[in-house]
Amino acid sequence: MPVQRLNHAVLYVRNVARSVAFYADALGFAPIDGMAQLRGAAFMRAGGSTNDHDLGLFEVGADAASSPAGRGAVGLYHLAWEVDTLAELERIAERLDRLGALAGATDHGTTKALYGKDPDDMEFEVSWLVPADRLTQEILDSRSRLAPLDITKEKERFGAETRGGVGVSSPASA
């Protein structure tokens, strides 16, 4: 059986309390009671998740260097979390913008994506996936052309409350 989905991510951060506050405010992650017993660590769960935890944070201190990944070193570029609706994507875009953490918004054709940066300048993505039954050849062909994301236009096209593809970004036959 192939890997099905990402269960959780673990990040090294400079300040756990600051990162917990950011991920709670920006993305609605909640600290898990009883799992925060480790000094300098926190475990958080996304709203509606049944995972043991979705995000682990381990403090390495204020003097920790930024990751050179992508700037002369290999390493992880970003993690991507899915949301159910374009209305939720818009809500998160507004929240990230308010926090000064919105780094970009891109239309990938089959996915509509926001990019944010956390307090340690680590990038993450929040995306809505076009449902497989709404994919057209035009949308599939547009995957190779990145465009600025216009959430208002996409809500008009697909509906603000239309449930996304939940891990599906192409039809089964593609």
Q: Average pLDDT for residues 115-144, to the nearest whole number? A: 92
Sign of CA dihedral 134, 139, 144, 148: negative
pLDDT bucket at 173, cuts 50 / 70 / 90: low
What does the pLDDT look like over 80-93, one tens digit per residue? 999 999 999 999 99
Which tens digit of pLDDT belongs to each residue from 102-116? 999 999 999 999 999
In the DSSP assignment, the letter for residue 69 is B
**Domains, the chain:** 9-59 (3.30.720), 79-158 (3.10.180.10)
pLDDT, position 143: 84
Q: What is the pLDDT of residue 48?
A: 87
CA dihedral 125, 28, 6, 119 (to 10 degrees): 50
Q: How far apart are CA 57 and CA 79, in angstroms?
A: 14
Distance (Å, rounded) from C-alpha 153 to C-alpha 35? 42
Tell me what pLDDT residue 172 has: 60
Please state, in angstroms and as integers, the Cα–Cα distance from residue 75 to each residue in 9, 71, 149, following that order. 14, 10, 27
**Does 152 score more than 90 pLDDT?**
yes
Write down the pLDDT at residue 161.
Answer: 97
Q: What is the helix, strand, coil percentage profile of the chain, to 5?
A: 25, 25, 50
- pLDDT 10s digits, 31-70: 997 765 567 899 999 988 888 899 999 999 999 999 888 8
**Token pair of 127, please?**
């995306």
Is this structure's pTM higher than 0.75?
Answer: yes
